[in-house]
Chain A
Amino acid sequence: MTDMIVGEETRKIEASLEELRGLVTERAMTGETMLLNMGPHHPSTHGVLRLLLELDGEEIVTCLPDVGFLHTGIEKNIEDKTYEKGVTLTDRMDYLSPMSNNMVFCMAIEKLVDLDVPERGQVIRVICLELSRIASHLVWLGTQAIDLGAMSVFLYCFREREKILDMFEMLSGQRMMGSYFRPGGVWRDLRPEFLPALEAFLEDFPRRVDDYEALLTKNPIWLDRTQGIGIIEPDMALALGLSGASLRGSGVNWDIRKATPYSGYEKYQFNVPLGEHGDVYDRFLCRIYEMRECMKIIRQAVDNLPDGAFRSDDRKFVPPPRRELGQSMEAVIHHFKLWTEGFSAPDEEVYVAIESPRGEIGCYLHGTGGNKPRRVRFKTPSFMHIQALEHMAPGHFIADLVAMIGSVDIVLGDCDR
């Protein structure tokens, strides 16, 4: 308990130890171990994560993550909007890969109202998803490296990410929060300048990944800091609900793109990298190799990009293109109906999950029969991964905790929604 002098009177400003009884060991009650607050403004907590640490010397005895600082009520807000308007809010959850959030929400809507996406729309979606996977992994790699003291990797990663954001700007007019995916396809077709930019990126990027690997993969300091740290056994990883590369680092072969393909992922040839030891280093390798696999998928998608519609032409759900409005009364009616009232979805529930860069992001969508959802819930990988820190941290040093936080790849906006 801390005493703070405010003017003349003394006030107790911190929570009492009693509140933590049962959560920390008895040794903390007597003052034998130290309680230390890490965050929510600590630079290596990747946002606003607060960790309450119980320390024996520098060794962690218990780690209690505290989240919710970035809770913005996105799920509640979507309940008050029509389906298509909700897409804009999903961008703001996992702000490092907004496309994955758009995707899972659009897929849930499409499943609920039974709407198909034309093939070109699906392939464009795959290109965008894989690009945002690379962009997200680049931020992860840069921040993980800077947390462990390798400054230059961070700068290199952000240089490459910039190119991807430029491409997103070409597509949607926005660098990050594009809301490019819409129910039934994507907002507009690929711009003419997009494919040349993508070709240049595909040409350049493999060399860059080699650079990162040259800097880190066999770097003895990097190995010292990451090998044998934060080991999580495959059984425990599954029971804790880990997913994505954090789970595959433990050797569990589960990639939703392979297991239950969506958006035509079954047509692409790619490998799913698996770790062996489940430590920070294996998770690092998994993500590095995943970036190379993303390149393969994008290559195949660009080569087989079909012509045709990029968005469904089901006028009950998809607004007509601008050019029809001057000629067709029916188009005007559909336009007006869809942008004011929106479309209705049945009073049923669906659950859709996709592989986001961080892991399984799921959307549980319950309609009302009307134009607004009854309940939207996002199962987000970061939420589960932060929970797992509680089980990974004990027995390690604080410096290693920083490596662990980076290795499970969390985004607090994704966690708190």
Chain B
Amino acid sequence: MQIPTPLDAVEHLKAQMPDAVDDVHIFRDETTIIILPENVPAVLRFLRDTPGLVYNYLSDISAVDYYPDYSRPARFGVSYHLYALLYSRRLRVKTFVDEDESIPTVTSIWPGANWLEREIIDMMGIPFADHPDPRRVLMPKDWDGHPHRRDYPLGYETVQFSFNIEEIMKHKPFAKE
């Protein structure tokens, strides 16, 4: 079987979808293609289906919260880590979103993205549009807030003393008479 010669992802993407690529960033041989959130499914599908690129494995979807640093285009960065089994190479596709801004889901491209996106919904509070099952995955369903945001405190339990024990007990979830 003839294996198509590998293409350069950035150049090929720029040639085929000129509007999609916002910026390209290279650090320690890792290429990051920065795109707009609405282009995510189209770009990922293109990268997966084009012969010579075939980024057919979605390694991970990672989200990072840049709060309180405002030098980035938006508060959150969401990175899709792709891997091409045929050529053994990796690529990061990154998009920036602000609070309450949603990203189209990629579950139709990789069913495995389902839980990865659910984790971001849960821990970062970034909504994914048209996600088939947007429940929390790690935290309990009645949990308040999104723990991996930078403005969410690590938190400790208040130390109980006789003067504050009643106040603390009021908020404990166990059954009361």
Q: Give A contacts to B, CB under 8 Å.
A: 6-7, 23, 67-68, 71, 73, 75-77, 80, 111-112, 114, 236, 238-242, 252, 254, 259-260, 348-351, 353, 360, 362, 364, 366, 368, 374-375, 377, 379, 383-384, 387-388, 391, 416-417
Contact = CB atoms under 8 A, between A and B. Distances in A.
Given A6-B175, A80-B154, A364 B79 contact: yes
Interface of B: 27-28, 30, 32, 56-60, 62-66, 69, 79, 81, 83, 85, 88-90, 92, 110-116, 119, 133, 136-140, 147-148, 150, 152, 154, 175, 177
B60 A364 contact: yes
Nearest to A388: B112
Interface centre among B27, B83, B119, B140 (most CB of A within 10 A): B83
A121 B57 CA distance: 31
A374 B66 contact: yes
Contact of B138 (A7, A68, A377): A68
A239 B112 contact: yes
Contacts of A68: 136-140
B133 A23 contact: yes
B154 A77 contact: yes
A335 to B, nearest CB: 28
Given A68-B140, A75-B148, A384 B28 contact: no
Nearest to B136: A68
Contacts, number: 111
B64 A374 contact: yes
Contact of A384 (B69, B90, B112, B140): B112
Contacts of B90: 260, 351, 353
B134 to A, nearest CB: 11
Nearest to A384: B112
Given A242-B112, A379-B59, 17 more contacts: A111-B28, A114-B28, A238-B85, A239-B111, A240-B111, A241-B57, A241-B116, A254-B57, A254-B85, A350-B28, A350-B30, A360-B59, A362-B81, A364-B64, A368-B69, A375-B148, A416-B138
9 pairs of A and B residues whose beta carbons are closest in the complex: A241-B112, A379-B60, A68-B138, A364-B62, A375-B64, A240-B112, A259-B88, A377-B62, A387-B115
A383 B112 CA distance: 10
A238 B115 contact: no
B58 to A, nearest CB: 6
Interface centre among A77, A112, A349, A360 (most CB of B within 10 A): A349
B64 A366 contact: yes
Contacts of B27: 348-350
A383 B138 CA distance: 10
B115 A351 contact: no
A307 to B, nearest CB: 30
Consensus secondary structure, chain A interface:
mixed
Nearest to B61: A379
A105 to B, nearest CB: 14
27 contacts: A7-B177, A67-B137, A68-B136, A73-B147, A76-B147, A238-B56, A239-B110, A240-B110, A349-B27, A349-B64, A349-B79, A351-B59, A351-B62, A353-B83, A353-B90, A362-B59, A362-B60, A362-B81, A366-B64, A374-B66, A375-B62, A377-B62, A379-B60, A379-B62, A383-B115, A384-B112, A384-B115
Contacts of B133: 23
B112 A387 contact: yes
Interface centre among B79, B112, B139 (most CB of A within 10 A): B112
B81 A260 contact: no
B7 to A, nearest CB: 19
Contact of A351 (B81, B147, B150): B81
Contacts of A240: 110-112
Contacts of A364: 60, 62, 64, 79, 81
A7 B176 CA distance: 12
Contacts of B115: 383-384, 387
B5 to A, nearest CB: 18
A75 B123 CA distance: 11
B75 to A, nearest CB: 12
Nearest to B87: A259
A355 B138 CA distance: 24
Nearest to A390: B114
A73 to B, nearest CB: 7
A351 B140 contact: no
A99 to B, nearest CB: 21
Contacts of B30: 349-351
A391 B115 CA distance: 13
Contacts of A260: 88-90
B148 A76 contact: yes
A363 to B, nearest CB: 9
B111 A351 contact: no
A25 B90 CA distance: 39
Contacts of A350: 27-28, 30
A377 B147 contact: no
Contacts of A353: 59, 83, 90
